[in-house]
Structure 1
């Protein structure tokens, strides 16, 4: 795939992670989840944003949004807070809903995690600092389904820094998604909900993809 050829160096994951994915793929060959481990041949990706609360029973607010090379399809989104609803503090859940814009709280059982995995499918995942986003979510997947998300992953932050350094070699790096959007003259985030952040990282990814194509054309 063209996008894979361009961004192979930006993929998240160590050799240990890749070996684990291959081991999981073999282990789940005969299961209903086998297709998740197959290479994706289409033109869509899924932008992911996650925020985890503190505490003994952390809650994970998640948004997953489908995008292609031209559009962010916010009408195709999966948004919820995943938490042990029996044990999690009610105030924590209310805060997750209020701050991150979720309206649904789901237990981290196989059915709910399977629904999220099915929504994402085997499409590549993109996101701002995606390793950090996936840390707790993958733990839930391993506990509930036996495996972490096996999808290819592209860190939009790394892509942003690479393109920025090409234009401004001595620019200081920033961990702020809002500053990255401003750098590339994209609309600011109106709220700090997970859906807004997922959509923003998707827009930034599309913008940087075009920048990459332009740079390759003139190189």
Structure 2
């Protein structure tokens, strides 16, 4: 935590474009942003974003009608494996804007609000590659990982050997939420927002998520 605060302070001091200092200012106290992106592949250093969606959550309301949603033209090819996952082909992004033209609107949309996501470190790492090129800093926004909250609500008091399932579909099923078209940036950001609000309600009311009574084999299911 202290190291992250130090990097944040250094980035604020060395920010190339001072018009983006607003990123270091706290957003409205009752707002967070659910974010998701699809990419050309899973290599954080070489692959790039090809679609990105961000949805504001104000209090207990998901502002889906005011969402940020964009397709991006990458500088590298889309891998065959990635196309199988999200269905976006070279032809689908050929006429889209490059990320550099999209970033200003995206950064003004999210501001200094905390970013909510499912395995959000990957999405932010991919986004930060471009933000570093654009204004020379890492994103200073606090991060909220929904799988971590879910784990605490369901498995935080589990005995050793309990089977753990943190898959996106399983979390939605456990919270009795609908599963939309997964691996679409907007749909994933929307489902993540619903998960966040459901877990927020459970946490505020002190409710734990029930577990099957039988023990598993200590297996982890991610992804």
TM more than 0.5: yes
In terms of fraction of residues, the more helix-rich structure is 1
Matched residue SS, 2:99: coil
Match of 1:38 in 2: 25
Matched residue SS, 1:163: helix
Aligned residues: 199
Q: TM-score, normalised by structure 1?
A: 0.77
Match of 1:18 in 2: 5
Contact 1:100–1:193 (8 Å) recurs in 2: no
1:65 maps to 2:52? no
How many angstroms does 1:191 deviate by? Answer: 4.0
* Separation (CA, whole Å) in 1 of partners of 2:27 and 2:5: 16
Contact 1:58–1:88 (8 Å) recurs in 2: yes
How many angstroms does 1:22 deviate by? Answer: 1.5
Match of 1:105 in 2: 96
Unaligned runs of 5+ in 1: 1-13
* Separation (CA, whole Å) in 2 of partners of 1:108 and 1:30: 17
Change (3 A) 1:166 1:18: same
How many angstroms does 1:49 deviate by? Answer: 0.7
Q: TM-score, normalised by structure 2?
A: 0.76
* Separation (CA, whole Å) in 2 of partners of 1:27 and 1:165: 42
Unaligned runs of 5+ in 2: 208-223
Change (3 A) 1:195 1:100: farther
Matches within 5 A, 1:58-207: 58-60=47-49, 61-84=51-74, 87-89=75-77, 95=83, 99=87, 105-109=96-100, 111-166=101-156, 169=159, 171-207=162-198
Contact 2:40–2:79 (8 Å) recurs in 1: no
How many angstroms does 1:91 deviate by? Answer: 8.8
Greater Rg by CA: 2
Contact 2:40–2:77 (8 Å) recurs in 1: no
How many angstroms does 1:151 deviate by? Answer: 0.8
Match of 1:10 in 2: none
Deviation by residue 1:116-137 (Cα, 9 ceiling, x = unmatched): 1001111111111111111111
Contact 1:100–1:194 (8 Å) recurs in 2: no
